[in-house]
Amino acid sequence: MSTATDRRLPDDRVPDDQVASGDTSTPPGGRSGRDALSEMSNPHRARAVKDVVARVVMWAAFFLAVVPLVWILGTVIGKGFHMLTTSTWWTGNQRNVNSDDFGGGARHAIEGTLQMVGITALIAVPIGILTAVYLVEYGRGHLARVISFTVDILSGVPSIVAALFIYAIWVTAFGFSRSGFAAALALVLLMIPVIVRSTEEMLKLVPNELREASYALGVPKWATVVKIVLRTAFSGIVTGVLLGIARVMGETAPLLILAPYTKNFQRDLFNGNFPTLPMMINQDRGDFALATAAERMWGAALTLILLVLLLNVIGRVIAHFGAVKK
């Protein structure tokens, strides 16, 4: 270890990493010789203590992570569930429902969200997967590095910036009106990097031996990629796509900027205002002081969570049937 002398601490203690590499006879840094000795005489106890400490720390971390999750779910279910059981929630819309009226439906927003996310996925999934295939299977040299770097940048772009970018192009430059489709374009920008990165990881997990086995059978590269590599990575790719969908489903900034809310049914993605669940939540949040609006807000929030959950379950089922058989 050449840096040993430079790194020696003022009071002649030895840095811990030297202890780990075992090239020193001095006692471990930070402890006096006697401590180390008594510890050595009872290594079993010391290890047991460390074990308990590690366990406690990990459980504590786990609870810290779970508490807010359970809290959120509890609150949303507690305050929103009864809305989901009203007669009109799954069938009606909010037309002619004023803030101080009770109930109304969320179907317009559910359909809107699904439609918007659907078109987003339709555009983003092929682009994302093909980019990942290029990066893992074909990309060498500069172009691949530039693309990989660009994807990194894209994944760091705040959603409101993506929305403004689309606004600048779609509305300002091209002169189209704000619409569901414009918002979907912004969501595409947010979804692509998630899909590229997750697909890339999955493709890298496919053992090279399988590619070689396929080449050795005289299978061309494109067929190897499509039939062997993508097939083997299928369930992982599906999971990545779901993560991407979950990421954009609750995204609100692009909707605020590009897809103004409507209380009506609206199936036209290209013209007019567009209803979505996040925007419905936002709408009713404006009249939060009214119990009727607050209830609707919680109901819409719970609906959105359920929608993401449902998509996840569907994805799991698809992934399960496409998974590598053992």
Partner 1 sequence: MAKRIDVSDLNVYYGGFKAVEGVSMTVEPRSVTAFIGPSGCGKSTFLRTLNRMHEVIPGGRVEGKVMLDDQDLYAASMDPVTVRRTVGMVFQRPNPFPTMSIYDNVAAGLRLNGVKNKKTLDGIVEQSLKGANLWTEVKDRLSKPGAGLSGGQQQRLCIARAIAVQPQVLLMDEPCSALDPISTLAIEDLINELKNDFTIVIVTHNMQQAARVSDRTAFFNLKATGEPGRLVEVDDTTRIFNNPTEQATEDYISGRFG
165-203 b/e (C-beta count within 10 Å ≥ 16 → b): ebbeebbeeeeeebbbbbbbbbbbbbbbbbbbbbbbebb
Question: Crossing angle, helix 291-322 and helix 43-84, to 10 degrees?
Answer: 120
173 forms part of the interface with partner 1 (CB under 8 A): no
Residues 191-210 contacting partner 1, CB under 8 A: 207, 209-210
6 forms part of the interface with partner 1 (CB under 8 A): no
Among 146, 217, 310, 314, binds partner 1 (CB under 8 A): 217
Cβ neighbour number for residue 210 with a 10 Å cutoff: 14
247 forms part of the interface with partner 1 (CB under 8 A): no
Candidate segments 19-27, 45-53, 220-228, 251-259, binder of partner 1 by CB under 8 A: 220-228
C-alpha–C-alpha distance, residues 104 and 302, integer Å: 15
Candidate segments 29-37, 94-102, 221-229, 240-248, binder of partner 1 by CB under 8 A: 221-229
Position 147, amino acid: I
Binding track, positions 91-130, relative to partner 1; x by CB under 8 A: ----------------------------------------
C-alpha–C-alpha distance, residues 297 and 46, integer Å: 54
325 forms part of the interface with partner 1 (CB under 8 A): yes
Closest CA to 131 of 12, 237, 272, 257: 237
Among 18, 232, 283, 303, binds partner 1 (CB under 8 A): 232
239: which 2 tokens? 């999971």
Which is nearer to partner 1, 54 or 324 (by Cβ)?
324
223 forms part of the interface with partner 1 (CB under 8 A): yes
Which residues contact residue 323 at a Cβ distance below 8 angstroms, ignoring those fewer than 6 apart?
Answer: 234, 235
Which is nearer to partner 1, 6 or 209 (by Cβ)?
209
Residues that bind partner 1 (CB under 8 A): 140, 207, 209-220, 223-224, 227-228, 231-232, 234, 324-326
